[in-house]
């Protein structure tokens, strides 16, 4: 009798309502780990034990492959990091828990940006939870080196390339580069927007329109991209984006182009941003805001019922948590009701730039970072762009032909 009473009390007690949640993600750099600490703390405060399953390789390509393999083997993690349109594909096969209950309770329909609603909602309602909005077309500038070289922040691609040339002549590494296909492909996206503009970018990399892929405009973009490739190391140093950021922070490189997870990285190393390292829209961004969004999906499994899902989702969609997480991550919140007054100057600028880009229809999804096309075509195009960048024998025509072939089989 006594024993069964204890068992009943334990079952009812909040301590025993503690639960485990396995989270599959690709946040493995120092800055990303700092953001994860915020998440872990939030879960721990609500008696939820967190089991991370990190998959090395930013950008998420490898993580997505692991997620698929685990789902097929009937061994899904409880929660996974995910991005963009592929969320709808996961929902279509019926493996995602619904988040409608929490979305209603926490008024997602009125607090989320329309973009966050479009990405995370299907005909079944909310099937994922948006967490961060990253801007990708940033230029990160080492002010110390810029001053030493007596140069100014480039305003367009011509100036960018000539500043890099001068830095190279002065023996300074002009651009910190992560040698991975998606990171090089992100340089290509910024050049494409700068040289072709937003409509050209959308037609070419979002709609995969053969007429713009095979165009004079594209050849012009590729000329610029080739010039850029000639200014960085050959062969590229075999380092990922966060090690490249370290070079920037340690005054070993003048620029880095990339998403504001770079800001998270710098902040985690106590680098003064924007005094030491400044953030500027990538040259000739012309008001464009290239984005990706991280979301969380909750996967069905025997040990993870809807009640548990609701508890975890409630805790992670909490307004204060979303603010704290984004602040450390370098991104901006996906909720419109968070005040950014304690955020870094670069995040405040990102927020303003996003508002302006929304008004001018110049907020554009990153193809290379999972926001536009299916993952197979995306990885294939990223690899082709990477090959072009590293191998001067690959011509403009080769790359154009290959992208068209991928577009046609899409």
| Contacts of 114 by beta carbon, 8 Å cutoff, 6+ apart | none
Q: Write down the least CB distance from residue 258 to ligand BGC, Å.
A: 9
Q: Which is nearer to ligand BGC, 377 or 394 (CB)?
A: 377
Q: Is there binding between residue 311 and ligand BGC (CB under 6 A)?
A: no
Q: What whole-number distance in Å separates Cα of residue 230 and Cα of residue 224?
A: 10
CB atoms closer than 10 angstroms to residue 105: 12
Q: What whole-number distance in Å separates Cα of residue 23 and Cα of residue 234?
A: 38
Q: Is there binding between residue 23 and ligand BGC (CB under 6 A)?
A: no
Q: Which is nearer to ligand BGC, 224 or 378 (CB)?
A: 378
Residue ranges of alpha helices (H) inside 317-364 are: 319-329, 345-359
Q: Write down the least CB distance from residue 354 to ligand BGC, Å.
A: 15
What residues between 367 and 396 interact with ligand BGC by CB under 6 A? 369
Query: Which residues, listed in sequence order, are joined to residue 51 by a DSSP beta bridge?
Result: 22
| Contacts of 307 by beta carbon, 8 Å cutoff, 6+ apart | none
What residues between 80 and 109 interact with ligand BGC by CB under 6 A? 83
Would you mind telling me the total number of residues written for the chain in this entry? 410
| Contacts of 270 by beta carbon, 8 Å cutoff, 6+ apart | none
Out of 60, 178, 196, 283, which residue is the one contacting ligand BGC (CB under 6 A)?
60
Burial of 216 (0-12, 13-18, 19+ CB in 10 A): exposed
Q: Which is nearer to ligand BGC, 203 or 353 (CB)?
A: 353
Distances (CA, A) of 113 to 108, 334, 342: 9, 6, 21
Out of 22, 24, 59, 82, which residue is the one contacting ligand BGC (CB under 6 A)?
59
Contact, 251 vs 142, CB < 8 A? yes
Q: What is the DSSP letter of 6?
A: H
Q: Write down the least CB distance from residue 270 to ligand BGC, Å.
A: 19
Q: What whole-number distance in Å separates Cα of residue 79 and Cα of residue 72?
A: 15
Out of 189, 294, 353, 384, which residue is the one contacting ligand BGC (CB under 6 A)?
294
Q: Which is nearer to ligand BGC, 167 or 328 (CB)?
A: 328
Residues binding ligand BGC: what is the number (CB under 6 A)? 11
Which of the stretches 53-61, 95-103, 146-154, 381-389 binds ligand BGC when contact is defined by CB under 6 A?
Answer: 53-61
Tell me the torsion sign for CA atoms 258, 259, 265, 267.
positive
Q: Write down the least CB distance from residue 294 to ligand BGC, Å.
A: 5
Q: Is there binding between residue 130 and ligand BGC (CB under 6 A)?
A: no
Q: Write down the least CB distance from residue 60 to ligand BGC, Å.
A: 5
Q: Is there binding between residue 350 and ligand BGC (CB under 6 A)?
A: no
Task: At 89, give phi and psi (nearest 5°).
Answer: -70, -40
Out of 134, 135, 308, 311, which residue is the one contacting ligand BGC (CB under 6 A)?
134
Out of 90, 261, 298, 325, which residue is the one contacting ligand BGC (CB under 6 A)?
261
What residues between 218 and 237 interact with ligand BGC by CB under 6 A? none
Out of 212, 292, 322, 368, which residue is the one contacting ligand BGC (CB under 6 A)?
292
Mapped onto helix, strand or coil, the DSSP state of residue 33 is: helix
Which of the stretches 52-60, 170-178, 228-236, 277-285 binds ligand BGC when contact is defined by CB under 6 A?
Answer: 52-60
Q: Write down the least CB distance from residue 57 to ligand BGC, Å.
A: 8
Out of 23, 26, 321, 325, which residue is the one contacting ligand BGC (CB under 6 A)?
26
Measure the N-to-C terminal CA separation of the chain; round to a whole number of Å: 65
Q: Write down the least CB distance from residue 229 to ligand BGC, Å.
A: 22
Contact, 231 vs 169, CB < 8 A? no
What is the four-CA torsion angle of 59, 64, 65, 67, rounded to 10 degrees? 150
* Interacting residues with ligand BGC (CB under 6 A): 26, 32, 58-60, 83, 134, 261, 292, 294, 369
């Amino acid at each position: 009798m006594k024993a069964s009473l204890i068992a009943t009390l334990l079952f009812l007690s909040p301590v025993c309502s503690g639960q485990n949640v396995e989270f599959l993600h690709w946040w493995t750099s120092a800055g990303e780990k700092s953001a994860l600490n915020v998440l872990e703390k939030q879960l721990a405060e609500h008696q939820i034990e967190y089991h991370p399953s990190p998959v090395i390789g930013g950008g998420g390509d490898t993580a997505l492959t692991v997620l698929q393999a685990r789902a097929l083997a009937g061994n899904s993690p409880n929660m996974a990091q995910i991005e963009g349109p592929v969320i709808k594909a996961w929902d279509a096969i019926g493996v995602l828990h619904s988040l409608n209950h929490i979305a209603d309770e926490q008024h997602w329909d009125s607090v989320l940006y329309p973009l966050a609603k479009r990405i995370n909602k299907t005909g079944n309602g909310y099937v994922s939870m948006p967490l961060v909005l990253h801007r990708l077309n940033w230029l990160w500038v080492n002010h110390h080196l810029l001053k030493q070289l007596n140069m100014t922040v480039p305003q367009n691609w011509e100036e960018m390339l000539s500043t890099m040339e001068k830095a190279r002549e002065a023996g300074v590494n002009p651009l910190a580069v992560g040698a991975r296909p998606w990171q090089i492909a992100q340089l290509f996206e910024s050049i494409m927007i700068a040289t072709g503009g937003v409509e050209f970018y959308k037609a070419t990399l979002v709609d995969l329109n053969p007429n713009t892929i095979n165009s004079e405009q594209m050849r012009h973009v590729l000329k610029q991209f080739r010039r850029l490739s000639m200014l960085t190391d050959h062969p590229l140093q075999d380092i990922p984006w966060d090690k490249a950021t370290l070079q920037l922070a340690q005054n070993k490189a003048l620029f880095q182009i990339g998403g504001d997870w770079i800001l998270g990285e710098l902040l985690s190393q106590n680098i003064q941003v924007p005094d030491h390292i400044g953030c500027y829209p990538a040259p000739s961004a012309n008001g464009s805001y290239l984005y990706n969004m991280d979301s969380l999906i909750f996967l069905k499994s025997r040990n993870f019922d809807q009640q548990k899902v609701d508890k975890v989702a409630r805790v992670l969609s909490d307004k204060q948590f979303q603010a704290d997480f984004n602040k450390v991550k370098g991104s901006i919140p996906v909720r419109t009701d968070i005040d950014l007054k304690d955020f870094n100057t670069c995040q405040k600028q990102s927020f303003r730039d996003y508002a302006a880009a929304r008004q001018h229809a110049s907020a554009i999804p990153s193809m290379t970072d999972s926001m536009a096309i299916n993952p197979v075509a995306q990885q294939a195009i990223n690899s082709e762009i990477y090959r072009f960048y590293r191998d001067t024998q690959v011509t403009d025509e080769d790359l154009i032909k290959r992208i068209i072939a991928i577009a046609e089989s899409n």
